[in-house]
Amino acid sequence: MHQPLFERQVYVQRRRQLQSKLTNGIVLLLGNEDSSMNYKDNCYPFRQDSTFLYYVGIDQPGLAVIFDLDENREILFGENASIDDIIWTGPQPLVQELAESVGITASDNLAKLASLLAAAREAKRPIHILPPYRPENKIKLASWLNTSIPQLQTFVSETLIRSVIAQREIKEEREIAEMDRAVSISADMHLAAIQQARPGMKEYELAATVEAIALANYGRLSYPVILTINGQTLHNHYHGNTMQEGDMVLVDAGAETTMHYAGDLTRTFPVGKQFTSRQRDLYNIVLHALDHAVSLLRPGIQYKEVHTQACIKLAEGLTAVGLMKGNAAEAVEAGAHTMFFQCGLGHMIGLDVHDMEDLGEPLVGYDDQLKKSTEFGWKSLRLGKTLKAGFTLTVEPGIYIIPELIDRWKAEQKHSAFINYGLLNSYRDFGGIRIEDNYVITDTGSKKLGKSLPKSLNEIEALRNGI
Ligand code: GLY
Ligand code: MN
Ligand code: MN
């Protein structure tokens, strides 16, 4: 018998709760397909859709489920393996067995799904879908709903999206335990990188060490490893540089467990045994911003406010070393800190590293009280809304010295009341620093997820010295 990820009753209750929030029509949730690299049987590693995993718990390609709200029934759709399939892939559970394993009593094949949807359209019954993001699923949906891919938007249900977010954003204890595991494996990946980096090594050699630990834990990466001496490039996936004495390495990497929960940690450390004095100063500024942000985490505070306060801490530190000037809070109000911190303080994390972002950042990271800003820097804050107990999120302040941005802004003398361009120019090859940890919001504050991973200057240098 097929084993769902959590026990059967978990999925029965989650689906019951979702259906209680919706009134009528048909909810259609699609699992993902295998996706070909070059021909049908040579596929990228399969990754199930996270919402499908959350409500159905079956980690297999080619499935779809409907909840018929009017007739109060659930049906799982898919194709049973043929004898040809079984020769290549071994015995497979029947779709009916998969359905029963998660408490769904009815199952059928995909042709039946197509005819059921055609009949529902004919009868003008509402059909609710989530925003599709995989080309394969867009093509299938357009065919089943007898519409074009752009017109699929008209079937996307905001009520369904909001209901799914409201449920998935509050993590259950069992999910938090699994995320703790994901973050602990992620911490092991980072510890190995900090201990094994040597001057003269290639970035890809160290990236291989990081990925091997995810695989050795029967997991995989929750996103492609960022491991670079050019940490100022926020999502830098190039691994071809040689790491040299004097450089810092920024490693942003996380594990995805077999249950598909993600970790997302970042550490920045020297390739040599010690940070330079400039690196020490800016490292401590980022660390203080992180500590301050974490001290503010609690239910009821807007994450945008936590971001703002972290930005003020960064600006204060940058003022102390002479890179910024004037009043830090005013500098942040004006947006001058975005010369150094161009992105957001963090995001939701869970079954996806940027949890639920396929459902739309404006609804996942914001709410009816708070709309997302379109300003430079602020527009990259993925999470702004009021925190609730049970949210799991990242806190990831950084300082990124981007030469191209210095040149653009300096030419316009942008924010010159707050930025010391003379000194900043001497930092243009500095690189970037990010420190990132993952937290769960508790009833009174927050708790860090996963085992502890060194982040103070002294701890990092001790590791670099093999202590
Ligand atoms: N790993 C990408 C991020 O930190 O959001
Ligand atoms: Mn990260
Ligand atoms: Mn992150």
Same-domain status, 322 and 341: yes
State percent of the chain over pLDDT 70: 100
| Cα 41 to ligand 1 centroid, rounded to whole Å | 31
Q: Where is the domain boundary, 147, 168, 189?
A: 168
Q: Which two tokens stand for residue 398?
A: 């950084």
Q: Any residues with CB less than 8 A from the CB of 223 and at least 6 apart, and which?
A: 254, 262, 264, 353
Query: What is the mean predicted confidence (pLDDT) over 1-9?
Result: 83
CATH number at residue 323: 3.90.230.10
Question: 209 with 106, same domain?
Answer: no
Residue 3 falls inside a structural domain: no
pTM of the predicted model, to two decimals? 0.97
1 in a structural domain: no
Is the residue at 55 inside a domain? Answer: yes
Report, as an integer, the average pLDDT of 29-38. 96
The answer to whether position 360 is within a domain reads yes
- Check whether 432 has a pLDDT greater than 90: yes
Ligand 1 proximity of 380 Cβ (cutoff 6 Å): no
Per-residue confidence at 5, pLDDT binned at 50, 70, 90? confident
Domain match, 342 and 449 both: yes
Q: Please indicate, yes or no, whether residues 266 and 309 belong to a single structural domain of this protein.
A: yes
3-state secondary structure of 423: helix
**Neighbour count for residue 346 (Cβ, 10 Å):** 26
Alpha carbon nearest to ligand 1 atom 3, residue: 264
Do 374 and 413 reside in the same domain of the chain?
yes
Does residue 2 belong to any structural domain of this protein?
Answer: no
Which residue type does 313 have?
K
* pLDDT surpasses 80 at 1: no
DSSP summary character for residue 141: H
Q: Which residues surround ligand 2, an ion (CB under 5 A)?
A: 252, 264, 266, 436
Say if ligand 1 is within 6 A of residue 437 CB: no
Q: What is the CATH number of the domain that holds 18?
A: 3.40.350.10
Among the residues of 197-276, which ranges form H helices?
A: 203-216
End-to-end CA distance of the chain: 50
Ligand 1: residue of 189, 251, 353, 382 to mutate (most ligand atoms within 8 A of CB) is: 353
Confidence band of 4 (pLDDT split at 50, 70, 90): confident
Ligand 1 pocket: which of 396, 433, 434, 439 to mutate (most atoms within 8 A of CB): 396
Q: Are residues 34 and 128 in the same domain?
A: yes
Answer with the one of 107, 138, 168 that is the final residue of a domain: 168
Q: Is 280 in the same domain as 331? A: yes
**pLDDT of the residue at 426:** 98
Q: What is the pLDDT of residue 152?
A: 97
- CB-ligand 1 contact for 223 (6 Å cutoff): yes
The residue range of the domain holding 59 is 8-168
Assess whether 230 and 186 both reside in one domain: yes
Average pLDDT, stretch 76-102? 96
Write the single-letter amino acid at 300: G
* Mean pLDDT to the nearest integer, 289-297: 99
In a shared domain, residues 437 and 292 = yes
Which is the closest atom of ligand 1 to the Cα of 235? 2
Tell me the average pLDDT across 264-270.
98
Whether the per-residue pLDDT at 222 is higher than 70: the answer is yes
- Looking at the fold, whether 185 and 141 belong to one and the same domain comes out as no
Q: Tell me how many domains the chain contains.
A: 2
Chain segment 120-149, per-residue pLDDT in tens: 999 999 999 999 999 999 999 999 999 999
Q: Do residue 79 and residue 197 come from a single domain?
A: no
| The pLDDT of residue 3 is above 90 | no
Is the residue at 456 inside a domain? yes
396 C-beta closer than 6 A to ligand 1 = yes
**Residues forming beta bridges with residue 27, ordered by sequence position:** 67, 128
Cβ of 361 below 6 Å from ligand 1: no
For 364-413, the pLDDT digits (tens) are 999 999 999 999 999 999 999 999 999 999 999 999 999 999 999 999 99
Best of 234, 250, 436 to mutate for ligand 1, by most ligand atoms within 8 A of CB?
A: 436
Within this chain, do residues 75 and 40 fall inside the same structural domain, yes or no?
A: yes
Q: Is the dihedral of CA 321, 327, 329, 330 positive or negative?
A: negative
Q: What is the number of the ligand closest to the CA of 393?
A: 3
Query: Is residue 181 one of the residues assigned to a domain?
Result: yes
Domain-ending residue, one of 132, 150, 168: 168
Is residue 174 scored above 90 in pLDDT?
yes
DSSP β-bridge partners for residue 441? 446
Q: Is 371 exposed, middle or buried (0-12, 13-18, 19+ CB in 10 A)?
A: exposed
Contact partners, residue 151, CB within 8 Å, separation at least 6: 142
